[in-house]
Amino acid sequence: MLEVEGLQKRYKQKTVLENCSLQMKQGEIVGLVGENGAGKSTMLQLLATIMQPTKGEIRLDGLSYKESVKEVRRKIGYVPQDISIWEEFTVEQNMLFFERLSWKKRTQEECRQLCIDMQLTHWKEGVQSLSGGMKRKLNLAISLLHDPILLLLDEPTVGIDLKSKTEIGTYLHSLAKNKGKMIMYTSHDMDEITNVCDRVYSIGKDSFYMDLLQEKGIPVEQLR
Ligand SMILES: Nc1ncnc2c1ncn2[C@@H]1O[C@H](COP(=O)(O)OP(=O)(O)OP(=O)(O)O)[C@@H](O)[C@H]1O
Ligand SMILES: [Mg+2]
């Protein structure tokens, strides 16, 4: 379980997140929506331990982020908004490189299977020659190497064609429902959010997304 209480993030004079509280249970896929600059990436970076909040508490499976950050990190997979893989390597070399950095050991076959699960079959191909969508799939496969319980995905499907989006959505669904992972992800595609997420948090004072998603019958709560 993920528990967030009274989270605040201030960048110098600017307060981006204020008194945000949320929870997630195993097996849930939760969307995070809001206009550009609302604070979605900030929230994911706080949950990914990449930044510290200026106020508030976060706990994952009862572990406090402040007291047990090392242990917490082992349980988190994070895909940043900007793709971060080695362009000059092949898919295989990327997977094996990141496997060596991971605390969990994986065989070459297991690494390959993670890519196949995502319909990424270009094992020997150079990353430079992959499409944007394939690179995103590779980034996602890398984030799963250490079998995290919490997956934080920042716009994982931006610029991806509908077929790949659907494949990724189906895969995320199986990760949550069959393997009990908690998944939080951001997207500006409300159809996708509606199709994939169990429920949604909307960041920001504007009720635009709240209204839109409520109309579609998706449970949504506002964070400020
Ligand atoms: N390192 C930083 N220093 C100062 N301000 C920052 C920093 N990172 C983000 N911000 C500001 O915080 C606000 C929230 O940014 P954030 O990237 O979290 O928004 P977002 O919801 O992810 O937006 P987008 O939809 O464009 O990705 C913005 O106003 C941004 O300018
Ligand atoms: Mg962002």
**Which residues in the chain land under pLDDT 70?**
none
- Identify the domain containing residue 131 by its residue range: 86-147
Is residue 20 within 8 A of residue 7, CB to CB? The reply is yes
172 and 192 both lie in a single domain: yes
Query: Where a domain ends, among 147, 163, 196?
Result: 147
**CB of 11 closer than 6 angstroms to any ligand 1 atom:** yes
Residue 7, phi then psi, degrees to nearest 5: -75, 135
Q: What is the mean pLDDT of the chain?
A: 94
pLDDT digits 0-9 by tens, 40-93: 999 999 999 999 999 999 999 999 999 999 999 999 999 998 888 999 999 999
Asked if 143 and 199 sit in the same domain, the reply is: no
Closest atom of ligand 1 to 188 CA is 25
**Has residue 81 been placed in a domain?**
no
Residue nearest to atom 25 of ligand 1 (CA): 36
Q: Which two tokens stand for residue 51?
A: 């930044």
Domain membership flag for residue 216: yes
Residue with the nearest Cα to atom 5 of ligand 1? 11
- Report how many domains make up the chain: 2
For residue 188, the model assigns a pLDDT of: 93
